[in-house]
């Protein structure tokens, strides 16, 4: 695989000019989503889908992530952060529904780059449409460890759900 110069990388909204057919990250459901569903989701505004490309091959997707609005019942807000929230019946949040990097380009920092962009984008849009935290439901322990290494907090229950409260993001990001 040729070296990728990080100054040529760009994260942009997924569009019809991006090549969907050959994406493989090693998890079939994430490949299948990108190949068959992502375009429709963008069209219907069900998910925001963002892709990482190399400007020398701008139609080839290195990785992608999705974002959508969600809400948690107050009782489902993790205890570790519940004290920060008013007792509204529903608490707004942003779900990082999917995140994947081409299998042949994993472990080079592209996942962390995509996740940092997702966090930045979610944080910026939370000042327009409120969102109290980012949520991710990791697909495996290994994926959960990846999110943890990138600032997300694992819940004290045995689930693979991790969160990143918006109020703690300002400290993580130089915006
Ligand atoms: C999870 C996933 C998105 C991470 O993407 P990635 O590009 O491999 O992630 P990164 O390179 O940023 O970080 C992964 C590891 O590579 C290491 N790494 C980063 N850059 C590196 C480099 N230049 N050289 C060696 N290792 C490096 C990181 O330290 C990290 O190590 P860790 O696994 O011990 O924590 C990717 O593995 C993937 O697509 N997996 C399949 C789909 C999936 O499980 N998605 C998550 C759904 S919840």
HEC string of the chain equals CCCCCHHHEEEEECCCCCECCCCCCCCHHHHHHHHHCHHHHHHCCCCEEEEEEECCEEEEEEEEEEEEEEEEEHHHCCHHHHCCCCCCCEEEEEEEEEEEECHHHCCCCHHHHHHHHHHHHHHHHCCCCCCCEEEEECCCHHHHHHHHHCCCEECCCCCCEEEEEHHHHHHHCCC
Other CB atoms within 10 A of residue 135 CB: 19
Atom of ligand 1 nearest to the CA of 106: 8
pLDDT per residue as tens digits for the range 106-152 = 999 999 999 999 999 999 999 999 999 999 999 999 999 999 999 99
Mean pLDDT over 41-65 rounds to 97
Question: Residue 137 sits in a domain of what CATH number?
Answer: 3.40.630.30
Would you state the pLDDT for residue 173? 63
- Nearest-angstrom CA–CA distance, 147 and 117: 13
> Is residue 1, in this structure, part of any structural domain at all?
no
Mean pLDDT over 148-161 rounds to 89
Strand partners, 23: none
Phi, psi for residue 123 in degrees, rounded to 5: -65, -45
What residues line ligand 1, using a CB cutoff of 6 Å? 25-27, 30, 99-101, 106-112, 138-139, 143, 145-146, 149
Q: Which of 73-77, 149-153, 168-172 has the highest mean pLDDT?
A: 149-153
Would you state the pLDDT for residue 160? 94
> Is residue 56, in this structure, part of any structural domain at all?
yes
Would you state the pLDDT for residue 84? 83
pLDDT surpassing 80 at residue 1:
no
pLDDT surpassing 60 at residue 42:
yes
Number of domains in the chain: 1
Pocket test for ligand 1, best of 61, 101, 105, 118 (most atoms within 8 A of CB): 101
Q: State pTM to two decimals.
A: 0.94
Strand partners, 53: 10, 61
* Under 8 Å between Cβ of 154 and 144: yes
> Is residue 129, in this structure, part of any structural domain at all?
yes
Range of the domain at 14: 6-172
Would you state the pLDDT for residue 38? 98
Would you state the pLDDT for residue 174? 55
> Is residue 116, in this structure, part of any structural domain at all?
yes
Distance from the CA of 109 to the center of ligand 1, in angstroms? 6
> Is residue 161, in this structure, part of any structural domain at all?
yes
Would you state the pLDDT for residue 75? 86
Structure tokens belonging to residue 160: 């693979």
Distance from the CA of 133 to the center of ligand 1, in angstroms? 23
- Percentage of residues in the chain having pLDDT higher than 90: 79
pLDDT surpassing 80 at residue 78:
yes
């Amino acid at each position: 695989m040729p070296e990728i110069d990080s100054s040529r990388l760009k994260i942009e909204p997924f569009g019809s000019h991006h090549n969907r057919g050959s994406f493989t990250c090693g998890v079939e459901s994430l490949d299948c989503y990108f190949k068959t569903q992502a375009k429709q989701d963008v069209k219907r505004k069900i998910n925001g889908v963002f892709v990482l490309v190399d400007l020398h091959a701008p139609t080839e997707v290195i990785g992608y992530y999705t974002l959508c609005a969600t809400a948690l019942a107050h009782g489902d807000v993790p205890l570790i952060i519940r004290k920060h929230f008013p007792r509204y019946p529903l608490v707004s949040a942003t779900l990082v529904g999917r995140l994947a990097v081409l299998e042949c380009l994993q472990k080079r920092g592209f996942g962390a780059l995509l996740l940092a962009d997702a966090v930045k984008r979610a944080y910026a849009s939370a000042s327009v449409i409120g969102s109290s935290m980012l949520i991710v439901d990791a697909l495996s322990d290994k994926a959960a460890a990846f999110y943890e290494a990138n600032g997300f907090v694992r819940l004290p229950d045995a689930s693979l759900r991790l969160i990143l409260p918006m109020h703690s993001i300002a400290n993580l990001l130089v915006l």
